[in-house]
A and B are shown apart, each in its own frame.
Chain A
Amino acid sequence: MAGFAATLPIGRNATDAFVSPFSSLSADSAAEPNVKELAMLALDTAKSAGANYADVRFVRNRNQNVNTREQRVQSVSDNETYGFGVRTLVNGSWGFSASNDLTRDEVSRVAKQAVDQAKANRTALIRPVVLAPAPAANGTWTSPIEIDPFSVAIEDKVATLLAANQAALAVKGARFVSSSMFFLREEKTFASTDGSFTVQTIYRTQPAMTVTATANGDFQTRESVDVPPRGLGYEHVRDSKLKENASKWAEEAVQKLTAKSVDVGRYDLVLHPSHLWLTIHESVAHPTELDRAMGYEANYAGTSFVAPPEKVLGTLKYGSELMNIRGDRNQPGSLSACGWDDEGVKPEDFDIIKKGVFVDYHTTREQASWLDWYYKKLGKPTRSHGCSYAQTWAAVQFQRMPNVSLLPGDKDLGWEDLIAATDRGIAIIGDGSFSIDQQRYNAQFGGQVFYEIKGGKIVGMLKDVAYQMKTPEFWASLDMVGGQKSYFLGGAFGDAKGQPVQVNAVSHGSPVTRFRNVNVINTGRTA
């Protein structure tokens, strides 16, 4: 598959760095003097119109996409969106309005409109919104990046992807490959009538690849899910070693064509963190969202089996004693990391499950006050865990999950140790197909690559594997967790919740793990 490198502008002068014509606008939105002035205008207008509380977010979001397949660049795009959203609280009801028109007149109109929305929404008010106290926040925060992805030349990005494609296609049987890079820079200014004013610059980076192998009318794919998106800069692309990994992914896609189709039954599962992050996301992180537990998401995302709060907090046995789950928004490179959430709260680390027992939900300021009774009982202050988030300036903020991670164990166990300790099992790498019910009891997960374990050794590759589980039963079967060295942060863009649907980017960390006696089905039906 040689020959396409000639189409690339290789040998580019290092000084030809890609300079954005947007940069004159977007160098630093905080430095644009009118943002603070417009923010204050929005808050003052909302207050004068009758708001008891108001906040405003000005968000400038720039993203860049490069998409390729085989020897071809399919598309390169560079996009920017800038606007503001005003949220108001009037006598216990929320209102929201947003616009991309950053004039003084429009800021005033939108602030008034947000108050009018709140007044209309008071119809049939039963339980007024009460915000848990939060100290005023002031300051700046930036994702811990080494290399600004927007400073890297497009040619370098294209060359990296096409070289990886070439490496994949050099593997016999690999017929198609698509690869891409996505970069985001979000500059967010937040101000509230509680006296907060924060400016944050958030970066996200994702390199991705899918290799498809075909033979005799069959096809199999391998996706690069073990390189997750991160809240990092271009160094994440560099460290992902796409070209080196491409050959491995291609070989695995080809091997899947002739892999043994799994025999249904119960197996011990040795799960890599690149797989388990999604199971944690679906079966632990979502059901421990307080809005779900209280019925606020019943019409779409669903409710939760972790409810009602007064019957489960501090008592619900979620899993084995090895299960310790923590929420945070500060793991370096995680997608949830930030200085303050979208209502000006500095996030804190908090325990969600301790030694298998459920102890706390993810909360916003509105929601923390619902648990006032619990925090008083524990002798803790009632405060938000800092989980407020909106996908863009055009959407209203609500509760979105922080990083929700399984903590490593005390023993220094790794992937090989868990396989060696397993007599009859399946090892799974990477996430695949996934589905879970609306209360998070019954789930089914596939994966990218499956290996059969017999007598403590991997004896071959399997395909058509998915496991079906009931959440508390599955987590009760967790009997081995790896050590800190095996810890890895998986994740994805596009976690959907709310109506209208908003997407969030999520990270979940985990060590290697083993679960006993899990029900495995065969998904390779033909009729």
Chain B
Amino acid sequence: MSVRSLAVSARYISREECEAIAKRALSFATADETRVIINSTTISNTRFAVNQISTGGDSFDSVVNVVSKFGKRSGSSSTNQFDDEGLKAAVQMAERVAKLSPEDPEGLPELSQQKYQPGVNWSDVTASLDPATRALAVKRIADPAKAAGLVSTGFMEAITSGQAIANSKGLFAYNRSTSSVLTTTVRTQDGTGSGWAGATHYDWSKIDPSALENRATQKARTSVNPVAIEPGRYTVVFEPTAVGNLVQFISRAFNARSADEGRSFFSLPGGKNKLGQKVVDERVTITSDPFDPEIAGSPFSGDGSPTKRVVWIENGVVKNLDYDRYWAEKQGREPTGSGGSIRMSGGTQSLDDLIRSTQRGLLVTRFWYLRPVDQRTILYTGLTRDGTFLIENGKITKPVKNLRFNDSPIFMLNNLEAMGVPERVSASEGGDPGQAIMVPPIKVRDFNFTSLSDAI
């Protein structure tokens, strides 16, 4: 792959160009304070279906978003036209909108200069992936699948970005980043078996298409002609992807304001929240860290605040909730500055160990169509997909039909039996790189399946 790193990088806007664009945009500003956010991205992708490439291409876009403030009045506008006329129109629009808006009692002044750690989520290999290289990666899945009489479908995407924030108080932040993802679903010709595998990383060289092909093919073959089982409460071994599918919903409920306002799982009566309370098994710790190479993210958030490592849940106890600048000030706390990724603690066991220790239970590969049912308990519904099996006496004995569940990741992590070694997972249903998530395979008791599905 080293040859590829010498190839031409996908287009993005450099630090120096961003500085010049920001300077030009700010020179048109007449507001009390102005912030300029510049995003530039090349997205390139290759889709395949029925063992051949079905479509693929690339797009380049760059957007400047202008936030203008007159006292406590603010407005924003964005454009993707970077000539003087375009930038000027965006600044004027943001200022007009601001002047017409009522005062925002929660409006905050812009941040002054900040210090940022350098981002760690850039890969030359990812930035230089060309159509032919992407097509070859797809062939490493489609060719063996076709030769084996199976049907492969999938998606590969590489994203190269440059992002900057500048304001009229001298703040300037810049980060360039890459991300890549490859997922595949392999089905039997007669549609009676289906298997999925996927991986995502900012560094494409960490993704092995052949390994994904092997895993998806093996699941497709072993999932043929699933049997019906009675819905109900089961001991379940979740593969890391399935754990990521569910645990991400806990992180989306961390908003401190919703908790304090009494409309979140993290609320307590009387305008209090669950900070300091034990909410899941004491073996569970959940953190985020934009500078952890496995779950890397941006060194700054949209208002220019530096991001940092945050411990959300430690040994089962809520240690932090997500405070934005306004709510932190109001509650007398520091803004959280979360980078948005998730790392969950694990154990030393392998997935096979978890299966071997299970007398009777189910193995779940991943979930599909997850939707909230009750925010009070983070209760979700959804279905298993692409590899659901019965475990008997420590062994996978047969494929079972997919099942719908109604359960909460909070209940799930309270019913924890065992955890394995954490892995980086592709937990986005849409197959985009998604939130950076590193979670272990886990075994839990009493997971609540409510109905069967005939879908394969």
- B406 on the A face (CB < 8 A): yes
Give the chain A neighbours of B376 by CB distance below 8 A.
218-219
From B60-68, B234-242, B305-313, B329-337, the one touching the partner chain is: B60-68
Encoded as 1 (CB less than 8 Å from any B CB) or 0, chain A from 54 to 98 comes to 000000000000000000111111111111010100000111111
A21, A123, A153, A499: which contacts B155 (Cβ < 8 A)? A499
Q: Which residues between 293 and 342 of chain A lie within 8 Å of chain B, taking CB atoms? A: 294-300, 302-303, 305, 307
B94, B370, B383, B406: which contacts A525 (Cβ < 8 A)? B406
- A378 on the B face (CB < 8 A): no
Give B104 Cβ to nearest chain A Cβ, in Å.
Answer: 6
- A31 on the B face (CB < 8 A): no
Could you tell me the distance between the alpha carbons of A444 and B88 in the complex, rounded to whole angstroms? 49
Could you tell me the distance between the alpha carbons of A79 and B381 in the complex, rounded to whole angstroms? 35
Give the total of B residues in contact with A, Cβ under 8 Å: 108
- A8 on the B face (CB < 8 A): yes
Give A158 Cβ to nearest chain B Cβ, in Å.
Answer: 6
Nearest chain-B residue to A432 (Cβ)?
A: B373
A18, A300, A524: which contacts B430 (Cβ < 8 A)? A300
Q: Which residues between 250 and 302 of chain B lie within 8 Å of chain A, taking CB atoms? A: 261-263, 267-269
B62, B77, B385: which contacts A438 (Cβ < 8 A)? B385
Encoded as 1 (CB less than 8 Å from any B CB) or 0, chain A from 113 to 137 comes to 1101100111111110000000000
Could you tell me the distance between the alpha carbons of A99 and B151 in the complex, rounded to whole angstroms? 33
Give the chain A neighbours of B154 by CB distance below 8 A.
299
Could you tell me the distance between the alpha carbons of A305 and B454 in the complex, rounded to whole angstroms? 9
- B143 on the A face (CB < 8 A): yes
Give B318 Cβ to nearest chain A Cβ, in Å.
Answer: 17
- A437 on the B face (CB < 8 A): yes
Structural contact, B93 and A22, CB atoms closer than 8 A: yes
Q: Which residues between 43 and 72 of chain B lie within 8 Å of chain A, taking CB atoms? A: 43, 45-47, 49-63, 65
- B353 on the A face (CB < 8 A): no
Give the chain B neighbours of A435 by CB distance below 8 A.
369-371, 381-383, 404
Could you tell me the distance between the alpha carbons of A467 and B267 in the complex, rounded to whole angstroms? 28
Structural contact, A525 and B455, CB atoms closer than 8 A: no
- A97-B58, A117-B131 are known contacts. Are A439 and B455 too (CB-CB below 8 A)? yes
Structural contact, B79 and A442, CB atoms closer than 8 A: no
- A395 on the B face (CB < 8 A): yes
- A15 on the B face (CB < 8 A): no
Structural contact, A442 and B383, CB atoms closer than 8 A: yes
Give the chain B neighbours of A441 by CB distance below 8 A.
453-455
Structural contact, A124 and B455, CB atoms closer than 8 A: no
Give the chain A neighbours of B369 by CB distance below 8 A.
435-438
Give B414 Cβ to nearest chain A Cβ, in Å.
Answer: 8
- A155 on the B face (CB < 8 A): yes
A295, A438, A499: which contacts B50 (Cβ < 8 A)? A295
Nearest chain-A residue to B45 (Cβ)?
A: A500
Give the chain B neighbours of A193 by CB distance below 8 A.
none
B56, B94, B96, B429: which contacts A121 (Cβ < 8 A)? B56
- B103 on the A face (CB < 8 A): yes
- A22-B89, A123-B136, A437-B368 are known contacts. Are A525 and B374 too (CB-CB below 8 A)? yes
- B402 on the A face (CB < 8 A): yes
Structural contact, B57 and A396, CB atoms closer than 8 A: yes
B52, B130, B132, B268: which contacts A124 (Cβ < 8 A)? B52
- B139 on the A face (CB < 8 A): yes
Nearest chain-A residue to B102 (Cβ)?
A: A7
Structural contact, B373 and A433, CB atoms closer than 8 A: yes
Could you tell me the distance between the alpha carbons of A123 and B130 in the complex, rounded to whole angstroms? 14
- B438 on the A face (CB < 8 A): no
Structural contact, B183 and A299, CB atoms closer than 8 A: yes
- A446-B373, A499-B47, A500-B45 are known contacts. Are A77 and B89 too (CB-CB below 8 A)? no
Nearest chain-A residue to B448 (Cβ)?
A: A525
Could you tell me the distance between the alpha carbons of A300 and B191 in the complex, rounded to whole angstroms? 16
Encoded as 1 (CB less than 8 Å from any A CB) or 0, chain B from 370 to 414 comes to 111111110101110100000000000000001010111001000
A79, A395, A525: which contacts B379 (Cβ < 8 A)? A525
Could you tell me the distance between the alpha carbons of A97 and B47 in the complex, rounded to whole angstroms? 14
- A121-B131, A398-B55, A442-B452 are known contacts. Are A80 and B80 too (CB-CB below 8 A)? yes
- A527 on the B face (CB < 8 A): yes
Could you tell me the distance between the alpha carbons of A98 and B52 in the complex, rounded to whole angstroms? 23
Structural contact, B406 and A121, CB atoms closer than 8 A: no
A25, A519, A526: which contacts B89 (Cβ < 8 A)? A25
A21, A155, A175: which contacts B92 (Cβ < 8 A)? A21
Give A108 Cβ to nearest chain B Cβ, in Å.
Answer: 15
Could you tell me the distance between the alpha carbons of A77 and B92 in the complex, rounded to whole angstroms? 12
Give the chain A neighbours of B245 by CB distance below 8 A.
none
Structural contact, A395 and B59, CB atoms closer than 8 A: yes
Structural contact, A219 and B187, CB atoms closer than 8 A: no
Structural contact, A121 and B51, CB atoms closer than 8 A: no
Q: Which residues between 423 and 463 of chain A lie within 8 Å of chain B, taking CB atoms? A: 433-442, 444, 446
Nearest chain-B residue to A218 (Cβ)?
A: B376
Could you tell me the distance between the alpha carbons of A468 and B184 in the complex, rounded to whole angstroms? 29
Could you tell me the distance between the alpha carbons of A316 and B373 in the complex, rounded to whole angstroms? 32
- A214-B263, A219-B263, A434-B371 are known contacts. Are A298 and B59 too (CB-CB below 8 A)? no
Structural contact, B89 and A21, CB atoms closer than 8 A: yes
Nearest chain-A residue to B53 (Cβ)?
A: A121
Encoded as 1 (CB less than 8 Å from any A CB) or 0, chain B from 163 to 192 comes to 000000000000000000001110100010
B60, B452, B454: which contacts A100 (Cβ < 8 A)? B60
- B85 on the A face (CB < 8 A): yes
Nearest chain-A residue to B372 (Cβ)?
A: A433
Give the chain B neighbours of A433 by CB distance below 8 A.
371-373, 381
Structural contact, B53 and A154, CB atoms closer than 8 A: no
- B97 on the A face (CB < 8 A): yes
Give the chain B neighbours of A169 by CB distance below 8 A.
none
Top 9 nearest A-B pairs (CB, nearest first) are: A96-B57, A120-B131, A442-B453, A439-B455, A437-B455, A98-B59, A499-B155, A501-B430, A394-B59
Residues of B within 8 A of A (CB): 43, 45-47, 49-63, 65, 74-81, 85-86, 88-90, 92-94, 96-98, 100-106, 130-132, 134-136, 138-139, 142-143, 146, 151, 153-155, 157, 183-185, 187, 191, 194, 196, 261-263, 267-269, 368-377, 379, 381-383, 385, 402, 404, 406-408, 411, 429-432, 448, 450-456
Residues of A within 8 A of B (CB): 7-9, 18, 20-22, 24-25, 72-83, 85, 87, 93-101, 113-114, 116-117, 120-127, 153-155, 158, 175-176, 212, 214, 216-219, 294-300, 302-303, 305, 307, 394-396, 398, 433-442, 444, 446, 464, 466, 468, 470, 496, 499-501, 519, 521, 523-527
Give 30 CB contacts A-B under 8 Å: A7-B102, A74-B104, A77-B75, A77-B78, A95-B57, A96-B57, A98-B58, A120-B135, A121-B131, A123-B139, A127-B50, A158-B102, A217-B269, A294-B50, A297-B153, A299-B184, A300-B430, A300-B431, A394-B59, A433-B373, A435-B381, A439-B453, A442-B452, A468-B404, A500-B45, A500-B431, A501-B431, A525-B411, A525-B448, A527-B411
